[in-house]
Amino acid sequence: KLYSIHKGKPFYDSLINYITSDKVVVCVLEADTDKLIDIVRKMNGKTNPAEAEPGTIRGDFGLVMEANVIHASDSIESVNREMPIFFTKEELE
């Protein structure tokens, strides 16, 4: 469900194969700032690890676009769509 927005795109099958090839850790971060999404995405680095700065998660650990190590929501709308995929309402309270 998380990547259903990419269904039909050329990289979809390899993305799904990668993301389901092993265990994943899912977490929700909360902070007293409206900049949290920007902060986390900056720490992650550009989506393409080849373009990500050294010192970012993808820059240091990413392999290729489909195996770029980490996912982070890009907007509050994405957060609200993605959280229920992994967590119940009770788990998020």
Q: Are 25 and 71 in contact (CB under 8 A)?
A: no
Give the integer Cα–Cα distance in Å for 50 and 24: 22
Amino acid 44 reads N
The alpha-carbon radius of gyration of the chain (Å, integer) is 14
Which residues are identified as catalytic?
71
Contacts with 67 (C-beta within 8 Å, 6 or more apart), sequence order: 18
